[in-house]
Amino acid sequence: MASLLQRIPMPKLVDELLQGSRRALARVLSLVENEVPEGHEILAALFPHTGKAWVIGVTGAPGTGKSSLVNALAKVYRQRGKKVGIIAVDPTSPFSGGAILGDRIRMTDLQGDSGVFIRSMATRGSLGGLSRTSRDAVRVMDAAGFEIIILETVGAGQSEVDVVRAADTTLVIEAPGLGDDVQAIKAGILEIADILVVNKSDKAGADQTVRGLRAMLELGHPAAREQFVAHHGRMMTVQAPSQVVGDVWLPPVLKVAATQHEGIEALADKIEEHRAHLAKSGTGESLEARYLEMEILERLQTAILERLRNTIPPTKLEETIRKIQSRELNPQSAVNVLLEEFS
Amino acid sequence: MASLLQRIPMPKLVDELLQGSRRALARVLSLVENEVPEGHEILAALFPHTGKAWVIGVTGAPGTGKSSLVNALAKVYRQRGKKVGIIAVDPTSPFSGGAILGDRIRMTDLQGDSGVFIRSMATRGSLGGLSRTSRDAVRVMDAAGFEIIILETVGAGQSEVDVVRAADTTLVIEAPGLGDDVQAIKAGILEIADILVVNKSDKAGADQTVRGLRAMLELGHPAAREQFVAHHGRMMTVQAPSQVVGDVWLPPVLKVAATQHEGIEALADKIEEHRAHLAKSGTGESLEARYLEMEILERLQTAILERLRNTIPPTKLEETIRKIQSRELNPQSAVNVLLEEFS
């Protein structure tokens, strides 16, 4: 590490960040987000200081009130004396500047607090880029001493599932009255939930949403399915708000009303319960290992592609594509030929 | 190709598919979707027979009535004597089995027609996998003689943008009254639209949605922005329903009511207009070349990662991850070490 850092005046920025400078943190986050080489060097220097934060992923369809919930949860953790970092990769989030002015004003009560740092990440650019930079941003905030990091994404696709891989505890937010179309989407993200939160519980239909989610959990969640079949020999209804069967955490369904600050303390408690469960069962460590393996393989892939792009002459690539367009060559054979010649 | 095909009784399946067997088509699509080696060989054999179909990507948020529109559009093309293939990668689509029974019944009028083939693709599995298999499914239907292929995805993330890369003409569907949250999402998918369709135009607020889209186009669409600034020296309102400035196609905004079959003929005409524009300007060919380049690079990446996975001993990878978890090593350095040793 030292050899890398001697070349450039990075140590100052790194030191300032480690000592809690918000200005240094903001600058490092920009370097990381833009994926410049200095960002990579700083990340390498910061990495030994990471691994202390608890990362809470918050995802859900638009209209579920994710941002109000993030706001309320951040306040609870502040009251508990924790420094809170917020990373918003949701284009509809007021944190990321995507929502209407009224929402943004509601959020300003967090912004005067030096124990809170809010950062929005652009959703432009490639998907891989976004999950990579949000993961790196988490590490930067972690090194900067933020004990709770909330990573907010809009839950409607594979991209969000990828982003949430950086989280230790993932909350999937639902709300009553969003309609069947939106409900149908959530089957996919249900599997990534550690805790299911029904927000806007003061609205009509909240109990119905809770029941619907419990039914979906029973049918849909792989842990629920496997564990219940294993233990009971058949499917049954998930009755209790939270259950741990063996080493498996079955996602509880919690009702909250974020704008009224109702149920948020209980939600924070449940997150801590999940954290304790992961530590006790060792699941957290093996999950981290699995995500790290995915990260390493992705990074390898990117590095190799970069090399290939520098090795294969552009004219060769153009010629290959022309041959595919004229149907002389098919894509798979073309790849085999390029691999033979250049690796 | 011949040498590959001699080993297995593939030629029969390929021949049957080329001669129009629905059974063969269904089987090949399954092989392709499951990404088995036979699927790759068949794709290679079919590739010379592709490139004739016109691929229409249909995307939009849940609740915009995409499936009804696909249904109506398929009927118009059938009336025009075209064979129509439908590939649904949308978990909320009745074609892919994601919607409620009522919707599914509505679609059955297409299913008795031998000139229509409907295939749903699972959204499980990796994102890369989905865009890869949907692209391959398009090629299979193309080789099987389907002249119009409609590729339906739910428009709410990078995954859909990737899937739509397989389309020649991309429709982005909107509908009145979906609320600001859903509206906010669409900024991202606006850029991929060749034609913007406001469905449910019989509902209140349709004209407002059209106006909103035109305003967003003016501000947001890169082609609109660049061309208008270049030609007029300043931003101006997009007034006409469709405009071609130089070689650039500015996405028109069309009103339809799919369930009433209103505006669907005009939509099909507009799609043909876009097709003629791409042919005349040569944009279609260069776009195809760009997508093929992305495909080749993705395939190279996958192939190389596969090789690496077979080269790096699992114990070595595990050891590396352990070192990262204990913060002895950072992810980037780990990748450099692995690259040094194994490539």
SS (H, E, C) A63-90: CCCHHHHHHHHHHHHHHCCCCEEEEECC
Q: Which tokens sit at A77?
A: 């953790």
**Per-residue DSSP letters for B275-306?**
HHHHHHHSHHHHHHHHHHHHHHHHHHHHHHHH
Residue B179 CB contacts under 8 Å (≥ 6 apart), including other chains: A63
Interface test with B, best of A192, A330, A341, A343 (most B CBs within 10 A): A330
pLDDT at position A254: 95
* Rg of chain A taking only CA atoms, in angstroms: 22
Partner residue opposite A299 with nearest CB, options B62, B288, B331: B331
Q: What would the pLDDT profile of A325-334 be if each residue is shown by its tens digit? A: 999 999 989 9
CB contact (8 A) between residue A157 and residue B162: no
pLDDT at position A185: 46
| Closest to B328 in 3D by CA, of B337, A188, B173 | B337
Q: Tell me if B137 sits within 8 A of B33, measured CB to CB.
A: yes
Share of chain A above pLDDT 90, in %: 39
**What residue type is B23 in one-letter code?**
R
Cα angle B66, B67, B73; round to 5: 90
Band of residue A44 on the pLDDT scale cut at 50, 70, 90: very high
| Cβ neighbours of A184 in B, within 8 Å | 62, 91-92, 98-99
Q: Which tokens sit at A215?
A: 């039914």
pLDDT at position B1: 43
d(CA B125, CA A105): 40
Band of residue A183 on the pLDDT scale cut at 50, 70, 90: very low
CB contact (8 A) between residue B330 and residue A295: no
Nearest C-alpha in A relative to B91: A185
CB contact (8 A) between residue B335 and residue A154: no
A223 three-class SS = helix
pLDDT at position A327: 92
Q: What would the pLDDT profile of B174-221 be if each residue is shown by its tens digit? A: 888 775 444 444 555 667 789 999 999 998 888 888 887 887 777 655
pLDDT at position B97: 60
**Span A280-285, mean pLDDT?**
85
**Span A79-86, mean pLDDT?**
96
The Cα of A71 is separated from the nearest Cα of chain B by a number of Å equal to 18
Q: Which tokens sit at B297?
A: 């690079």
Nearest C-alpha in A relative to B124: A188
pTM here is 0.68
**Residues comprising chain B, all counted:** 343
Residue B212: HSE in the Cβ half-sphere, 13 Å Cα cutoff: 19
| Closest to B275 in 3D by CA, of B285, B284, B263 | B284
Taking 50 as the pLDDT cut, the residues of chain B under it are 1-8, 101-102, 105, 124-127, 180-185, 228-229, 231-242
Partner residue opposite B321 with nearest CB, options A98, A184, A296: A296
Nearest C-alpha in B relative to A299: B335
User: How far from the centroid of its chain's Cα atoms is residue A186's Cα?
Assistant: 16
pLDDT at position A234: 40
Q: Which tokens sit at B185?
A: 């999402």
The Cα of B74 is separated from the nearest Cα of chain A by a number of Å equal to 22
d(CA B74, CA B113): 11
The Cα of B321 is separated from the nearest Cα of chain A by a number of Å equal to 6
Q: Which tokens sit at A272?
A: 């801590």
A249 three-class SS = strand
Interface test with A, best of B95, B154, B292 (most A CBs within 10 A): B292
Q: Tell me if B54 sits within 8 A of B168, measured CB to CB.
A: yes
Question: Which segments within chain A are labelled E, that is strand?
Answer: 54-60, 84-88, 116-120, 148-152, 169-174, 195-198, 243-245, 248-250, 253-255
pLDDT at position B108: 62
CB contact (8 A) between residue A48 and residue B130: no
Taking 70 as the threshold, does the pLDDT of residue A134 lie above it? Answer: yes
Residue with tokens 């919690």: A254
Residue with tokens 């978890």: B325
d(CA B31, CA A48): 46
d(CA B203, CA B146): 34
The Cα of A265 is separated from the nearest Cα of chain B by a number of Å equal to 27
Question: Which segments within B185-317 are labelled E, that is strand?
Answer: 195-198, 243-245, 248-250, 253-255
pLDDT at position A123: 56
A67-76, A281-290, B152-161: range with highest mean pLDDT: A67-76
d(CA A269, CA A256): 13
The Cα of A292 is separated from the nearest Cα of chain B by a number of Å equal to 7
Band of residue A62 on the pLDDT scale cut at 50, 70, 90: confident
Give phi and psi for A196, each to the nearest 5: -95, 130
Interface test with A, best of B4, B283, B330 (most A CBs within 10 A): B330
**What residue type is A298 in one-letter code?**
E
| Closest to A117 in 3D by CA, of A145, A80, A90 | A145
Interface test with B, best of A158, A301, A320 (most B CBs within 10 A): A158
pLDDT at position B127: 46
Exposed e or buried b for every residue in A266-283, given b needs 16+ CB within 10 A? Answer: ebbebbebbbebbeeeee
Across chain A, mean pLDDT equals 80
Partner residue opposite A295 with nearest CB, options B181, B300, B331: B331
A257 secondary structure, DSSP code:
B
d(CA B343, CA B166): 32
Helix axes B10-18, B127-143, angle to 10 degrees: 70
| Cβ neighbours of A322 in B, within 8 Å | 289
Q: Is the dihedral of CA B255, B256, B257, B258 positive or negative?
A: negative
d(CA B60, CA B186): 8
| Closest to A65 in 3D by CA, of A257, A262, A206 | A257
Q: Looking at this predicted complex, what is its ipTM?
A: 0.76
**Residues comprising chain A, all counted:** 343
Q: Tell me if A152 sits within 8 A of A70, measured CB to CB.
A: yes
The Cα of B133 is separated from the nearest Cα of chain A by a number of Å equal to 13
